Structure formats: C-alpha cells, structure tokens
A and B are shown apart, each in its own frame.
Chain A
Amino acid sequence: EPEVTQTPSHQVTQMGQEVILRCVPISNHLYFYWYRQILGQKVEFLVSFYNNEISEKSEIFDDQFSVERPDGSNFTLKIRSTKLEDSAMYFCASMGQGWNEQFFGPGTRLTVL
C-alpha cells in the first residue's frame, strides 16, 4: 500500500541553525501539506502546495519557513533559523484528486536546544 515517508524521524538542532525536513508523498498525489503538532496539542496547518507553488499558508509559516519540491518526488520544509518554539512534530501529508483522503507521514520530531 502506498504511503507517505519522512526523514529523519528525529532531528536535534541548536537554536539559530537551519534544518531541512524531507518527505516523499504518495506518487500520484497532487496536493501536499506540512502540519506541526507541539507536544500535547492539536495538529496545526502550516502550508499547502499544489502545481509547484504554495496555495495557502498559515500565520505560523513566516519568512523563516520555505517549501520546495525540487525533483518531482521529494517535498521539503526548511526552517532557516530555528527557535526554541519550533520544537514540535512535523507531519507531511498528501492528497489525491478525490479530496476524500489525506494521508500523513510518520512525522519528524524536531527538538531545538
């Protein structure tokens, strides 16, 4: 069964460093997303990506964040200068044409020290 994959599973970084979180969405899906979940809280939308451009972003997704789909399979989230409050689980998700399923990857746990 096709699935969304994410690497790494856990990333530890120092405040101010850049991190890149990687995702491989399901191959025939067209819509891609990043969400985050601070420990013990609900899942929050960050950004959606369709047709090689951002279609929507939340207030959380400020200038420190960027997304790319560099090679038609990978989908990356970059945080340029991490802050302590960026510590969270980051989920990648993808959705097909039917809009009736949105599958999540296993997540990357980001810890900023």
Chain B
Amino acid sequence: AQKITQTQPGMFVQEKEAVTLDCTYDTSDPSYGLFWYKQPSSGEMIFLIYQGSYDQQNATEGRYSLNFQKARKSANLVISASQLGDSAMYFCAMREGRGNQGGKLIFGQGTELSVKP
C-alpha cells in the first residue's frame, strides 16, 4: 500500500494566486514527521517545511504553510502569492518513528506545479 499519496500529477496556478498541493499519508506509528521538498528543473531537493505528528499548530515558513489534518491523514502544502520561480516538482515525504530508528523518508510521486504569468 502507498504510504504517501500525491494525487495531482500536475497543477497550474496564476501568478500571485494561492495554490494547494495535496498529500495524504498512511501510518500506524503515532510518532511521525511530514516534509515537503521542492525540486526545480536543475534537480536539487530543497527542504521547504516540516510538520511533526504531535505539533499542535500547522507549520508555516514564509509563503509556505502546511494544512495538517491528522484525523484525515492529510498534509497539504499551501503556497500563497505564487511566483514564477515556484514552478517546480513538489514532493511530500514522511518519516516514521523517532529515537534510534533510521529516520528514512518515504516520498510521494510528486506534483509538478506550473505558475502562469
């Protein structure tokens, strides 16, 4: 079964508008973390935002916010005021467990975002 599901292979958004990229996850571990990464065409993986399973508030980092709905197991990324430079592939990822466990990330398939001028 897929642990991380991103159902939108591609999305378009008008410059300066907000966009939501969907991510649902599946885990039975009560302790986990959710990450979003941006991968521009140059290929690097840029860390955007993190949400811990015990965090009471939704994470925010500048124009990025994470809409964390624990009961629905969703962790959608919201980008406000889109810019042309936001055009990229976006990956949602999950880390299960803590402590001396490995901390590996499990990635979704990604959503390609295109920002139109």
Residues of B within 8 Å of A14, CB to CB, are none
Distance (whole angstroms) from the CB of A110 to the closest CB of chain B: 13
Number of interface residues of A (CB under 8 A): 27
Query: Is B103 within 8 A of A99, CB to CB?
Result: yes
Does B63 reach chain A (CB closer than 8 Å)? no
Per-position 1/0 for B23-42, Cβ under 8 A of A: 00000000001010100000
State the CA gap A109–B91 with chains docked (Å).
19
Number of interface residues of B (CB under 8 A): 25
The answer, among B33, B44, B102, B107, for a CB contact under 8 Å with A48, is B102
For the complex, would chain A's binding face be called helix, strand, loop or mixed by DSSP majority? strand
* Contact surface of B with A, Cβ cutoff 8 Å: 33, 35, 37, 43-47, 50, 52, 91, 93, 95, 98, 100-110
* Contact surface of A with B, Cβ cutoff 8 Å: 31, 33, 35, 41-45, 48, 50, 55-56, 58, 89, 91, 93, 95, 99-107, 109
